[in-house]
Amino acid sequence: MKVLVVGGGGREHALAWKISRSPRVDEIYCAPGNGGTLEVATNVHIGADDIQALADFAQGEGIDLTVVGPEVPLVRGIGDEFARRGLRLFGPGGAAAAIEGEKSLAKTLMAKYGIPTADFAFFTEAEPALRYLRQRGTPIVIKADGLAAGKGVVVAQDTPTAERTILDFLKGGVLGQAGKKIVLEEYLQGQEASAMAVTDGQTVLPLAPARDYKRIGDGDTGPNTGGMGAYSPLPDYPSELAERVEREILRPTVRAMAAEGRPFHGVLYAGLMLTREGPKVLEFNARLGDPEAQVLLPRLANDLVEVMEATLEGRLADIRLQWREEAAVGVVLASGGYPGLFQRGVPVVTEGDREAGVHLFQAGTTFEDGQLVTSGGRVMTVTALGEGLPQARTKAYQAVEKVRFEGRTFRRDIARGEG
């Protein structure tokens, strides 16, 4: 069969790699792909958000299955367009993907159906938001309602920062349309965790838990990024907690979406805070996390294509997910200056042989005159499998030292002290 992977990041390289291991797959295309996806696929020069062109390509090339990595095409309705043309696509339709594209919709859904989350309020004008801030105090979380490429969430520890953020979003227009409506949210304390599940709208199959690191600097310092590393499994996420998350969050959300006329199929992602009162939802996404996918997919023992086809055919109840016993740690290598201004076109050199169980899932890379060079802020995720988190961490950081490019930056505390 022929498979099209939509997207060009580390998650999509990991998806293409995992799909390539299925004996059922003959050809893989990535749109637009990156320097790493060329190892297992043919790159197609179509943007991930060019829905019509992607559908035309899938139709013309006879693609049997399209797998969407990033959120933007999902929220914009790529699933609906492919369904209209009779093309098979793994991922939710636009109405269901709105659970990620509209924070206010997700929060309203949770409040209506009793899904645990932080207290919140919505605002479209600055003055009422500032009055609410003065009543609630800080710390407080400020979120843009729409998609903002990882820049729409600010955890304000003091009033001046909160006021400035509210004014920047609602009056300054720094996030454009995405920030025209904001959510002010109660600040929750605890450890974060990423709880994802595959669902066909009826059956919900939770994936192994993972944890990602959103801030640029060690010790969770500096601005938020698209993610600087991840690991799985989680020592503080026992089976009892996993069952509780499935019972109180994942299954009720899928049922709620169906009740609201937004049936969800694909991967539902719940970003959780593990509080003293129990797990609470920070956000929902409508796809695999990045960089969580880069540590989960190497641990998944199943044929991913079989899981996806079972989802599309409504027979997930027949599937049992199985996980390798090894732990996985992924370290993101970023361009100097990221998440701010950074240089592109910097040569990337890998030194020595790659150890077994080590993967270089590329993201912001391309080839120029036969040389691999940087083309984005997050350049690649270096993932390693090990008998436990300490061994996986050691292997990952040893592999990091074999990848060189000028300005290379990365966190040195991924999975530190775990296991």
The pLDDT, as a whole number, for residue 174 is: 87
Query: Is residue 374 helix, strand or coil?
Result: strand
Residue numbers of the chain with a pLDDT score lower than 70: none
Position 147 scores a pLDDT of: 87
Which amino acid, 18? K
For position 212, what pLDDT does the model report? 97
Predicted local confidence at residue 210, as pLDDT: 98
- Please say which residue of 78, 93, 108 terminates a domain: 93
Read off the pTM: 0.96
CA-atom Rg of the chain in angstroms: 21
Residue 112 domain-assigned? no
**Cα end-to-end span (Å), the chain:** 40
Same domain, yes or no, for 209 and 161? Answer: no
- The domain tally of the chain equals 4
**Pair (211, 269) in one structural domain:** yes
Same domain, 208 and 263: yes
Q: Which domain holds residue 135?
A: 125-180
Are 212 and 308 within one domain?
yes
**What 8-state DSSP symbol labels residue 394?**
H
The structure tokens listed for 371 are 């040389």
Domain CATH for 294: 3.30.470.20
> Between the CA atoms of 186, 188, 193 and 195, what dihedral angle is there, to the nearest 10 degrees?
-40
Asked if 71 and 136 sit in the same domain, the reply is no
